[in-house]
Chain A
Amino acid sequence: MKRHLISAADLTRDDALLILDTADELAKISERSIKKLPTLRGRTVVNLFFEDSTRTRISFEAAAKRLSADVINFSAKGSSVSKGESLKDTALTLEAMGADAVVIRHGASGAPYRLAGWVRGSVVNAGDGTHEHPTQALLDAFTMRRRLGPLDGRKVTIVGDVLHSRVARSNVLLLATLGAEVTLVAPPTLFPVNVDSWPCEVSYDLDAMLPKSDVVMMLRVQRERMNAAFFPTEREYSRRYGLDRERVARMPDHAIVMHPGPMNRGMEIAAEVADSPRSTIVEQVANGVTARMAVLYLLLGGADLGGEI
């Protein structure tokens, strides 16, 4: 494994399988009464969140604490950052505090790469702008594998705002590494140009993909996109690309429905679909802690890789 986890492309197939296998073992920890391991005692993990994301932050916090790491939550709101302190100065502060790992959520694509140039510890990308969110992809792959077995040849359909989705980017890269066949579905306005250079298929037609999907993953679509003319109305988006009961009925019996959250119920996903037994949405949250434990253990649990700044 590399020293940092910033892009799903950082992971070889062996790396990805090692993380998933490790997560499989760690999943058992959450089933027992003492949910804590001493592994990262004395290590410090900083959660550096420039965007509000309570669910991702507490997921990383729980993961680090279950491995006995010390956790420092650094929220940009109400801190010196909101008073104009630069990312670099924040990084130097964390460095002085001796952070072994920095988990960063930032609104600017690529911010974790910049941070990695300024701190000695491992950098874990917890979502950067519209770039990537690799631990989300890992927990998604972990969830799929637990439900469906090995991912080689599995057909995964990812639906929604691909253009602005860090979840989609990381999932496409990781799932391709793991041998799954990914198809992205969206209105043409919500694809990046040159999406055909990605390791996946592209379609504008959700209904055509449903019968051959093992997994249908719905992405959050922000209502503001409507104002920028990416689609005409919420209602039209929902009608063409929303997952409702009728569409779910056309999926194979074994197929599962995923959503990274937070959901717009009634927009990209109908409430009854989100709450159905096919939906893995609650599992994904639990699996998030496990997958992040695996990442933190594999990045921090061994010898210091001796990175230079």
Chain B
Amino acid sequence: MNDRIGTTRDGIVIRGARILGGEPVDILIRDGLLVEIGQGLSGGETVETVEAEGLIALPGLVDLHTHLREPGREDAETVTTGTRAAALGGYTAVHAMANTDPVADTAGVVEQVWRLGQEAGYCDVQPVGAVTVGLGGEHLAELGAMADSAAQVRVFSDDGRCVSDAVLMRRALEYVKAFDGVVAQHAQEPRLTEGAQMNEGAVSGRLGLTGWPAVAEEAIISRDCLLAAHVGSRLHICHVSTAGSVELIRWAKSKGWDVTAEVTPHHLLLTDDLVEDSPVGSYNPIYKVNPPLRTRADVEALRAALADGTIDCVATDHAPHPVEDKETEWAAAAMGMIGLETALAVVQEAMVETGLLDWAGVAERMSCAPARIGRLRGHGQPIEVGAPANLTLYDPAVRAAVDPAGYASKSRNTPYQGLTLPGRVVATFLRGRPTVLDGKLT
């Protein structure tokens, strides 16, 4: 698996790439490291050349929130297909969420997932461990065993379920301090969201769909920030979706508490009125997601928060589902959207084209910050001599209609089909080895 293009040669020189959007330079990669950055590099005859004129070089993207579905739902995604999708999206590392079947709540399961990622070889798969046994919300899983395993788990989450029991949440926050772990909370007060189908607001009222109030997210975030402060722990908030949540996180950070947060690409672009009326009809469950799409005001607040750093990073919440789980009536459909292959394009559209972030900001939000939060070594580092050669080359100048037909993901549940989005990932390098060249998997 490791003998791909690029390893048979002595090294690779990338010509004319604009690091974080700066002036064009050449980058020489050898033995998995960035060995030289400058003008007119040759590196000798045995070096392969990648022309990168006009392309932006970013540190390889890191996703804190990916559902790879293996083990258990290999009909929706596998580690191989999911990491191929990640590579095409410019990612060199993904955090695989724990809600598999069996749940990733033991050292055995997390090691299996980690090893599958290693074998596939498209990007590093860093398993997330479940906080509670079977995501049941009752007993702590063996967090230490997962931390000590080969997978070296540092992020723990019951994602898909909220750790709603305040005592259990407190204990988890405290316990993971022993190995510098972090609890990533899916903030959703369960009683306030029983049967909830979409954002509670004017649209849900008209459509007769059970509402998902913003307060159900905000109540848990405020509680958990207070808990984290009380026990002096790190807390990470998954997929923040409301303007109110942003205010609470801003407040917690202003207190100096160690709270971090992520936002998904879809919450930066899409709004709940798509459920009522969209190019793909009314009540199309392609827009059904947890947390739900919110209002335009929420989208604006999330963008501003990502720009000013209140929200630390973008995480895809890539959630593949087979077609039969979406081609149903709304209430029966599964929640979630795929996102690995469109994340950078959506972030360019929502944040760069609007002037809210420059490419350095994109690198920080999509690579450095998530690697830092996940305590992931070898990823999310500045593009400097001596750093591991985890790189993404991106062409921001093109625009194209989104067409999932060619996606590497096993699933097709993208909400962007038919939209025109900017940008294209041209190449991805994982420790010097190209996983994607010329926009195609190697």
**CB within 8 Å of B: which residues of A?**
86-88, 106-111, 113-114, 116-117, 128-132, 164, 166, 169, 192-195, 197-198
Task: Tell which of A110, A164, A169 touches B330, judged by Cβ atoms closer than 8 Å.
Answer: A110
Task: Tell which of B200, B202, B283 touches A109, judged by Cβ atoms closer than 8 Å.
Answer: B283
| Apart from the given pairs A86-B328, A110-B282, A113-B281, 11 other A-B contacts in the complex at a CB distance below 8 Å | A86-B327, A106-B329, A109-B283, A110-B207, A110-B329, A114-B281, A114-B283, A192-B205, A193-B200, A193-B213, A198-B205
Q: Are A194 and B201 in contact (CB under 8 A)?
A: yes
Closest to A131 in B: B208
Residues on A with beta carbons closer than 8 Å to the beta carbon of B331: 107-109, 129
- Please tell me if B324 contacts chain A, counting CB pairs below 8 Å: yes
Closest to A132 in B: B208
Q: What is the CB-to-nearest-CB distance from A118 to chain B, in angstroms, rounded to a whole number?
A: 9
Residues on B with beta carbons closer than 8 Å to the beta carbon of A131: 207-209
Task: Tell which of A114, A164, A194, A198 touches B329, judged by Cβ atoms closer than 8 Å.
Answer: A114
Closest to B210 in A: A130
Complex Cα–Cα for A108 and B329 (A): 7
- Please tell me if B400 contacts chain A, counting CB pairs below 8 Å: no
Q: Are A117 and B328 in contact (CB under 8 A)?
A: no
Q: Which of B200, B206, B208, B331 has the most CB of A within 10 A?
A: B208
- 30 A-B pairs with CB atoms under 8 Å apart are A86-B324, A86-B327, A87-B328, A87-B332, A88-B327, A88-B328, A106-B329, A108-B329, A109-B283, A110-B207, A110-B208, A110-B283, A110-B329, A110-B330, A111-B283, A113-B282, A114-B283, A114-B284, A114-B329, A116-B281, A128-B208, A130-B209, A131-B208, A131-B209, A166-B208, A169-B208, A193-B200, A193-B213, A194-B202, A194-B205
Q: What is the CB-to-nearest-CB distance from B298 to chain A, in angstroms, rounded to a whole number?
A: 14
The 4 closest A-B pairs by CB, nearest first: A110-B283, A192-B205, A131-B208, A130-B208
Residues on A with beta carbons closer than 8 Å to the beta carbon of B392: none
- Count of B interface residues, CB-CB < 8 Å: 24
**Secondary structure class of chain B's binding surface, majority of residues:** loop
Q: What is the CB-to-nearest-CB distance from A87 to chain B, in angstroms, rounded to a whole number?
A: 5
Closest to B276 in A: A110
Q: Are A109 and B330 in contact (CB under 8 A)?
A: yes
Residues on B with beta carbons closer than 8 Å to the beta carbon of A87: 328-329, 332
Q: Are B202 and A197 in contact (CB under 8 A)?
A: yes
Residues on A with beta carbons closer than 8 Å to the beta carbon of B329: 87, 106, 108, 110-111, 114
B292-334 near A? 1/0 per residue, CB < 8 Å = 0000000000000000000000000000000010011111100
Complex Cα–Cα for A116 and B329 (A): 11
Q: Are B328 and A109 in contact (CB under 8 A)?
A: no
- Please tell me if B59 contacts chain A, counting CB pairs below 8 Å: no
- Please tell me if B121 contacts chain A, counting CB pairs below 8 Å: no
- Please tell me if B290 contacts chain A, counting CB pairs below 8 Å: no
Complex Cα–Cα for A88 and B285 (A): 13
Residues on B with beta carbons closer than 8 Å to the beta carbon of A116: 281
Q: What is the CB-to-nearest-CB distance from B201 to chain A, in angstroms, rounded to a whole number?
A: 6
Contact A108:B207 (CB < 8 A) given known A113-B283, A197-B202: no
Residues on A with beta carbons closer than 8 Å to the beta carbon of B209: 109-110, 129-131
Residues on B with beta carbons closer than 8 Å to the beta carbon of A195: 205
Complex Cα–Cα for A86 and B201 (A): 29
Complex Cα–Cα for A129 and B209 (A): 8
Residues on B with beta carbons closer than 8 Å to the beta carbon of A108: 329-332
Q: What is the CB-to-nearest-CB distance from A308 to chain B, in angstroms, rounded to a whole number?
A: 13
Residues on B with beta carbons closer than 8 Å to the beta carbon of A109: 197, 207-209, 283, 330-331
Complex Cα–Cα for A106 and B328 (A): 12
Q: What is the CB-to-nearest-CB distance from A91 to chain B, in angstroms, rounded to a whole number?
A: 10
- Please tell me if B211 contacts chain A, counting CB pairs below 8 Å: yes
Complex Cα–Cα for A2 and B204 (A): 24
Residues on A with beta carbons closer than 8 Å to the beta carbon of B202: 194, 197
Residues on B with beta carbons closer than 8 Å to the beta carbon of A129: 208-209, 331
Closest to A164 in B: B208
Closest to B211 in A: A193
Q: Are B211 and A192 in contact (CB under 8 A)?
A: yes
Residues on A with beta carbons closer than 8 Å to the beta carbon of B210: 130
Complex Cα–Cα for A109 and B333 (A): 12
Residues on B with beta carbons closer than 8 Å to the beta carbon of A128: 208
Complex Cα–Cα for A195 and B205 (A): 7
Residues on B with beta carbons closer than 8 Å to the beta carbon of A132: 208
Residues on B with beta carbons closer than 8 Å to the beta carbon of A197: 202, 205
Q: What is the CB-to-nearest-CB distance from B321 to chain A, in angstroms, rounded to a whole number?
A: 14
Residues on B with beta carbons closer than 8 Å to the beta carbon of A198: 205-206
Residues on A with beta carbons closer than 8 Å to the beta carbon of B204: 192
Residues on B with beta carbons closer than 8 Å to the beta carbon of A86: 324, 327-328
Task: Tell which of A111, A166, A193 touches B205, judged by Cβ atoms closer than 8 Å.
Answer: A193
Q: Which of B200, B210, B328, B329 has the most CB of A within 10 A?
A: B329
Q: What is the CB-to-nearest-CB distance from A62 to chain B, in angstroms, rounded to a whole number?
A: 27
